[in-house]
């Protein structure tokens, strides 16, 4: 996700590659982190003595696993404050880690929570943002500028981020599971695998585009397709009987609950 966020900014010239420093957990992770990035970008292991240079930066993106959060120790001694950046900016994309936890672990920083999703990899993402009260207008502009090339931005109260995450960040996995199952059904009904996969993907893309561009309620589209005593309504009847709708509702609720639990576990 860090690479998905940084790469478009470099391509657009928003940041110079030589001014970007990445820190990874081990030496073995460096080569994969550098893949598809300009050669001027520097990536170091956290065990490298030069990795402390990252604390000089006015903007830092924290994109580690939530379980690694406590292992990162703040150092702000080398940051040069100014009127626009009285404190350096720390942007976290860690699921469930609250602003309170971020501020406690990084007291020398102004902290921001960002919740992007995987379609950001192709510039079609959604990002939820919540920030501390003491963030400056200039820092808000910086944050928006970082996520705008890859996603639509929604500025939310922090307590809504867990629900946002459960729908938008976890959502692509739910949809992928449904699409995979639909393709499996087509194979079971007689279509070859390669064609079933392609048709399932195209059906998803076309349906999502139609809902979005025509601003349709999902029920409207469902009723457009389901004719009396036809194939679609028979299939929908089975899906309702099998509990698909309820299962998806509960999946979103459980994901939101797990995000809140992560904050308590860390």
For the chain, give the mean pLDDT.
Answer: 92
pLDDT value for 76: 67
In this predicted model, which residue has the larger pLDDT, 145 or 36? Answer: 145
How many domains does the chain divide into? 2
Does some domain include residue 50?
A: yes
Tell me, what's the pLDDT at 266? 63
Domain end position, chosen among 100, 124, 159: 159
Q: What is the pLDDT of residue 157?
A: 95
Identify whether residues 9 and 82 lie together within a single domain: yes
In a domain? residue 165 = no
Q: Does 212 fall in a domain?
A: yes
Residues 180 and 142 in one domain: no
Whether residues 127 and 255 share a domain: the answer is: no
The answer to whether residue 116 is domain-embedded is yes
Domain extent at residue 176: 171-263
pLDDT band of 139, cuts 50, 70, 90: very high
Residue 5 predicted with pLDDT over 80? yes
Q: Assign 3-class secondary structure to 140-155.
A: HHHHHHHHCCCEEEEE
CATH number of the domain where residue 221 is located: 1.10.3730.10
Q: Is 166 a domain residue?
A: no
Residue 229: both structure tokens together: 């005593």
Q: Quick check: is 164 in a domain?
A: no
At which of 130, 159, 188 does a domain end?
159
Is 179 found in the same domain as 84?
A: no
Mean pLDDT of the 33-37 span? 88
The model's confidence at residue 25, banded by pLDDT at 50, 70 and 90, is: confident
* Whether residue 44 has pLDDT greater than 80: yes
Query: In the predicted model, is pLDDT for residue 77 greater than 70?
Result: no
Q: Are residues 153 and 182 in the same domain?
A: no
CATH number at residue 15: 3.40.50.720
């Amino acid at each position: 996700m860090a690479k998905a966020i940084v790469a478009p900014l470099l391509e657009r010239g928003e940041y110079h590659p030589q001014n970007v420093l990445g820190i990874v957990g081990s030496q073995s992770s460096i080569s994969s982190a550098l893949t598809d990035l300009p050669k001027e970008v520097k990536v170091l292991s956290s065990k490298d003595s030069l990795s402390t240079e990252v604390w000089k930066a006015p903007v830092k993106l924290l994109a580690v696993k939530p379980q690694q959060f406590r292992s990162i120790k703040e150092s702000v001694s080398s940051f040069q404050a100014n009127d626009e950046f009285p404190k350096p900016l720390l942007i976290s994309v860690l699921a469930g880690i609250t602003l309170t936890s971020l501020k406690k672990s990084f007291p020398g920083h102004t902290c921001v929570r960002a919740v992007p999703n995987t379609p950001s990899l192709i510039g079609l993402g959604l990002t939820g943002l919540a920030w501390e009260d003491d963030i400056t207008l200039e820092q808000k502009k910086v944050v928006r500028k970082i996520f705008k090339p890859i996603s639509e931005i929604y500025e939310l109260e922090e307590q809504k981020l867990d629900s946002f995450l459960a729908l938008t960040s976890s959502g692509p996995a739910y949809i992928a599971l449904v699409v995979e199952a639909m393709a499996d059904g087509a194979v079971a009904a007689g279509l070859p695998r390669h064609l079933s996969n392609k048709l399932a993907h195209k059906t998803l893309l076309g349906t999502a585009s139609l809902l979005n561009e025509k601003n349709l309620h999902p029920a409207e589209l469902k009723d457009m397709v389901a004719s009396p005593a036809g194939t679609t309504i028979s299939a929908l009847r089975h899906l309702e009987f099998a509990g698909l709708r309820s299962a998806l509702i509960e999946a979103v609720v459980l994901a939101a609950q797990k995000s809140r639990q992560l904050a308590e576990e860390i």
